[in-house]
């Protein structure tokens, strides 16, 4: 399963640690949510990066105390039709100001790339090689966006106001 | 009319090119049918019994003459020469080939038409009053709000994979012509004590297997907060709506399980977080959308001009005028309803030739505008009263002047077993037989306003729960049976119908409807007491006795 980061296929530097396995001393680790919450204090002491896999039925506000130190939050799309993690992603980025890597995992397919990007994801465990290879091209497919989200793209409403000579109201901060 | 600008047009072009690629990937086998399914659904493409069906949105039911001609072109070139108007201000083409779909969509996009979000688990086409902008009793044109919401939910990155579909309707009149209370979310414009316009917000309405009338969760929402509040509702629904059982996935179940009051509180709590964010509506943004709606330059005319008076001498014209013409907010003008329910023909169907002619008539007499209502009829929204005699002739010549609007033969019916793969029973032939049985104009007129709604299965696309007489197709031992209910309505006092008794076989449905009509004639107190009011007064029992006495 190729990882796409910064629009390119990239090597995954994180090692997934199962619930009962020991945490390695060195290197970046990615741990399941329950394990993370149980061992949070210890994990946060690590010098190497720590990431968490957060399921789509848990409240992301639980992560708030750790966001500064977390290097990666992996959100889960068990099937692409289950859109709960889009809300989690926007909340993490826009309400809780999380700035680390946010990875889409699960059934990650080409036709949702633009949605993922707009919701704030910046890394993707893509299922198919062909989809991963087509990432850059697919991400540019749309140029018109209606919703103000944390990705900062200019919305149609703002473009129109500028075009029609109004003052631009939406230098305002996005809040979700 | 809402005028598209370069942004709207660019989006449609990008969408068509994306879909073209998806179809190519499906045809080459790169996409499985399951993966392709939700992509095609997001573009309004269903797989029906015989072929692919394409559903095109007619946002807030407004069509230009140019768009109507484009629909005619698509019907002719890619389909079998007709289209079917649905109860949600959409049109469906039933016979389109997969390989031709991208071309059909490109042709539609040229005229600003598309199938985006007409199916799938996303926010669907925003509907409203088909008389928006011309109704005498409206506070302001609800289409401006429908358009603001439509844009906001188009390709929404957070809410395109909801637990289930999400239908929004907007109304701005005292009289509800948009069936607000059977929507997942509905907004009704009204004024507060200070005379400011705002919205009553209702959530959790819907028909189907577990029908609910929507509950009011906010009595008065200031207009600036419309998008933030909808965002809060959708965010709760996206996270907490049930995804384990397709029959429990609509927001109505979530609202029912939590209770309307609790749900409203949770929405409010989320809303407080985002209420003053970048989605709060700036006056300039509202004004900018409003300026893109074009209104006719009405002439100064008087009501009831001599041409109209003279034409009343013709009995056929007078009957049609009394039935199909309604009061306009502008003096000297009228709203004309075009019945797509000719006696004995499928309901809501329109041929390509009819579409072209209707476009011509709209150009000549209705400032090039046509509306589509949830009753599956069309409307010419702004006809000068002096032109009514000519308009009648032109409409009559193409078979869309049957004077049965709001009568027993003005039936709402879903496609049923003739097209739909989910159906248990036929709906169209039942509608045809009922309309033939009541074809005699005086009989139909004597029954006053009487809405018959027919669905071919429990999904209730024909809104049978809210018909004065509702008919639901069920299957018993491989045969078509029909459950009949009475007393439903979809207006501002919306309520669900009451089941009459055991289902009746196909051959008995029309007789049962006739029994109901006769019972009503015998039970009503005055000639102008409506069926629905007689039901309210006497209840279901006397009707039930009549129908089952001989069965
Ligand atoms: S009510 Fe049933 S039969 Fe009719 S269109 Fe809907 S799904 Fe098909």
B306-397: CATH topology is: Sulfite Reductase Hemoprotein; domain 2 (3.90.480)
- Per residue, the 3-state secondary structure of B239-289, as one string, reads HHCCCCCHHHCCHHHHHHHHCHHHHHHHHHHHHHHHCCCCCCCCHHHHHHH
The answer to whether A137 faces chain B, any CB pair under 8 Å, is no
Please, which pLDDT band fits residue A150 given cuts at 50, 70 and 90?
confident
Q: Is the CB of B429 under 6 A from ligand 1?
A: no
Q: For a substitution probing ligand 1, which of B55, B458, B460 has the most ligand atoms within 8 Å of its CB? A: B460
Q: Can you give the pLDDT at residue B513?
A: 97
Collect all residues with Cβ–Cβ distance below 8 Å to B105 and sequence separation of at least 6.
B15, B16, B19, B43, B54, B114, B115
Nearest Cα to A90, choosing from A82, A81, A98? A98
Flag whether pLDDT at A167 surpasses 70: no
For tokens 């068509």, the residue is B16
CATH superfamily of B412-548: Sulfite Reductase Hemoprotein, domain 1 (3.30.413.10)
Contact B157 A119 (CB under 8 A): yes
Q: What's the ipTM? A: 0.94
The 3-state secondary structure of A109-123 reads CHHHHHHHHHHCCCE
Question: Does residue B521 line the site of ligand 1, with CB under 6 A?
Answer: no
pLDDT of residue A120: 96
| φ/ψ of residue A24, rounded to 5 | -65, 150
pLDDT in tens, A71-125: 999 999 999 999 999 999 999 999 999 999 999 999 999 999 999 999 999 999 9
Of residues B87 and B398, more confidence is placed in: B398
Domains B134-291 and B306-397 share a fold: no
Among A residues 114-133, those touching chain B with beta carbons less than 8 Å apart? 114-119, 130
- Confidence band, pLDDT 50/70/90 cuts, at residue B385: very high
pLDDT in tens, B95-154: 899 899 999 999 999 999 999 999 999 999 999 999 999 999 999 999 999 999 999 999
Q: Choose the weakest-confidence range: A107-121, B37-51, B186-200, B490-504.
A: B37-51
Contact (Cβ atoms closer than 8 angstroms) between residue B58 and residue B89:
yes
Q: What is the pLDDT of residue B88?
A: 81
Give B-chain residues touching A115 at CB under 8 angstroms.
155, 157, 160
Q: Provide the shortest C-alpha distance from residue A148 to chain B (in Å).
A: 7
| Residue B478 neighbours by CB under 8 Å, 6+ apart | none
Given a cut of 90, is residue B164 above it in pLDDT?
A: yes
Q: For chain B, what is the mean pLDDT?
A: 95
- Cβ of B455 less than 6 Å from ligand 1: yes
pLDDT value, residue A175: 60
Q: Is the CB of B48 under 6 A from ligand 1?
A: no
Mean pLDDT of A148-173: 78
Query: Span A22-30, mean pLDDT?
Result: 93
Pair B69, B79: CB distance under 8 Å: no
How many angstroms separate the CA atoms of B316 and A37, rounded?
A: 78
Q: Would the pLDDT of B187 be above 70? A: yes
Which pLDDT value is given to residue B47? Answer: 86
Specify which residues B169 forms β-bridges with. Answer: B127, B186
pLDDT at B34: 83
Q: Tell me, in angstroms, the distance from the centre of ligand 1 to residue B471's CA.
A: 12
Q: How far apart are CA B128 and CA B138, in angstroms?
A: 12
Is the confidence at residue A33, as pLDDT, over 70? yes
- Report pLDDT digits (tens) over B487-510: 999 998 999 999 999 999 999 999
Q: Which CATH superfamily is domain B134-291 in?
A: Sulfite Reductase Hemoprotein, domain 1 (3.30.413.10)
Three-state SS for B453?
strand
Per-residue pLDDT for B383 more than 90? Answer: yes
Give the pLDDT score at A174.
58
Mean pLDDT of B301-307: 97
Residue-wise pLDDT for B237-281, tens only, equals 999 999 999 999 999 999 999 999 999 999 999 999 999 998 999
Q: Between chains, do A172 and B277 touch, taking CB under 8 Å as contact?
A: yes
Each domain of chain B, given as residue ranges in start order, spans 6-109, 134-291, 306-397, 412-548
Rounded average pLDDT over A35-60: 95
Domains defined for chain A, CATH in brackets: 3-142 (3.20.20.70), 143-176 (no CATH)
Question: Considering the domain B6-109 in this protein, what is its CATH number?
Answer: 3.90.480.20
Query: Nearest Cβ partner of A111 from B39, B154, B288?
Result: B39
* Whole-number Å distance between alpha carbons of B169 and B146: 8
Q: What integer is the mean pLDDT of B403-426?
A: 94
| Cβ of B415 below 6 Å from ligand 1 | yes
Average pLDDT over residues B503-523: 97
Q: From A144, which residue of chain B is nearest by alpha-carbon distance?
A: B11
3-state secondary structure at position A152: coil
**Which atom number of ligand 1 is nearest to the Cα of residue B417?**
3
């Amino acid at each position: 399963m190729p990882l796409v980061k910064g629009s390119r296929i990239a090597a995954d530097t994180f090692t997934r640690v199962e619930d009962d396995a020991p945490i390695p001393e060195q290197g970046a680790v990615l741990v399941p949510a329950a394990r993370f919450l149980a061992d949070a204090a210890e994990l946060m002491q690590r010098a190497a990066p720590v990431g968490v896999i957060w399921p789509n039925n848990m409240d992301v506000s639980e992560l708030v105390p750790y966001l500064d130190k977390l290097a990666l939050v992996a959100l889960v799309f068990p099937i692409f039709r289950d859109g709960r993690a889009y809300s989690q992603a926007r909340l993490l980025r826009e309400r809780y100001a999380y700035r680390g890597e946010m990875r889409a995992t699960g059934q990650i397919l080409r036709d949702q790339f633009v949605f993922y990007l707009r919701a704030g994801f910046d890394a993707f465990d893509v299922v198919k090689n062909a989809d991963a290879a087509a990432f850059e091209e697919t991400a540019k497919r749309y140029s018109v966006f209606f919703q103000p989200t944390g990705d900062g793209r200019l919305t149609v409403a703002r473009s129109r106001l500028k075009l029609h000579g109004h003052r631009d109201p939406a230098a305002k901060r996005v809040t979700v | 009319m809402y005028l598209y600008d370069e942004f709207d047009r660019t989006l449609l072009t990008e969408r068509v090119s994306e879909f073209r690629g998806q179809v190519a990937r499906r045809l080459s086998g790169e996409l499985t049918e399951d993966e392709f399914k939700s992509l095609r659904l997001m573009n309004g493409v269903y797989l029906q019994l015989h072929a692919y069906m394409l559903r095109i949105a007619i946002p807030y039911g407004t069509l230009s003459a140019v768009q109507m001609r484009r629909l005619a072109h698509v019907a002719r070139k890619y389909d079998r020469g007709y289209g079917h108007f649905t109860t949600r201000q959409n049109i469906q083409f039933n016979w389109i080939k997969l390989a031709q779909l991208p071309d059909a969509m490109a042709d539609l996009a040229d005229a600003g038409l598309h199938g985006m979000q007409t199916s799938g688990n996303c926010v669907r086409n925003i509907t409203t009053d088909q008389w928006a902008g011309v109704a005498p009793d409206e506070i302001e044109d609800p289409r401006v709000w429908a358009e603001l919401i439509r844009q906001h939910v188009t390709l929404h990155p957070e809410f395109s994979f909801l637990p289930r579909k999400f239908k929004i309707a907007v109304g701005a009149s005292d009289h509800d012509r948009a069936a607000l209370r059977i929507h997942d979310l509905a907004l009704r414009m009204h004024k507060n004590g200070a005379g400011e316009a705002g919205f009553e917000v209702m959530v959790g309405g819907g028909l189907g297997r577990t029908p609910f009338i929507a509950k009011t969760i906010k009595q008065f929402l200031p207009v600036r907060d419309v998008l933030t509040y909808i965002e809060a509702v959708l965010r709760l629904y996206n996270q907490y709506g049930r995804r384990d059982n397709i029959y429990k996935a609509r927001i109505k179940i979530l609202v029912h399980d939590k209770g309307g009051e609790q749900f409203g509180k949770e929405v409010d709590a989320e809303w407080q977080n985002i209420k003053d964010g970048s989605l709060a509506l700036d006056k300039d943004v509202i004004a900018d959308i409003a300026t893109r709606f074009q209104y006719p330059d009405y002439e100064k005319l008087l009501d009831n001009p001599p041409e109209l008076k003279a034409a009343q001498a013709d009995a056929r014209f007078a009957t049609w005028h009394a039935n199909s013409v309604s009061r306009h907010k502008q003096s000297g003008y009228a709203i004309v309803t075009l019945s797509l329910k000719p006696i004995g023909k499928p309901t809501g169907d329109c041929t390509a030739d009819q579409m072209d002619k209707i476009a011509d008539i709209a150009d000549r007499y209705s400032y090039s505008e046509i509306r589509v209502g949830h009753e599956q009829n069309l409307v010419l929204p702004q006809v000068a009263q002096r032109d009514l005699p000519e308009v009648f002739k032109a409409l009559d010549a193409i078979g869309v002047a049957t004077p049965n609007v709001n009568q027993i033969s003005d039936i709402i019916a879903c496609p049923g077993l003739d097209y739909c793969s989910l159906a248990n029973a036929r709906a169209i032939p039942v509608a045809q037989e009922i309309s033939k049985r009541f074809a005699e104009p005086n009989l139909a007129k004597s029954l006053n306003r009487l809405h018959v709604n027919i669905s071919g299965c429990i999904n209730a696309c024909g809104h049978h729960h809210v018909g004065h007489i509702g008919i639901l197709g069920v299957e018993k031992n491989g045969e078509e049976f029909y459950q009949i209910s009475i007393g439903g309505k979809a207006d501002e006092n919306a309520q669900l119908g009451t089941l009459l008794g055991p289902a009746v076989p196909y051959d008995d449905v029309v007789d049962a409807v006739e029994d109901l009509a006769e019972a009503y004639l015998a039970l009503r107190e005055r000639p102008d007491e409506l069926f629905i009011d007689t039901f309210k007064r006497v209840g279901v029992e006397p009707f039930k006795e009549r129908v089952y006495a001989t069965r």
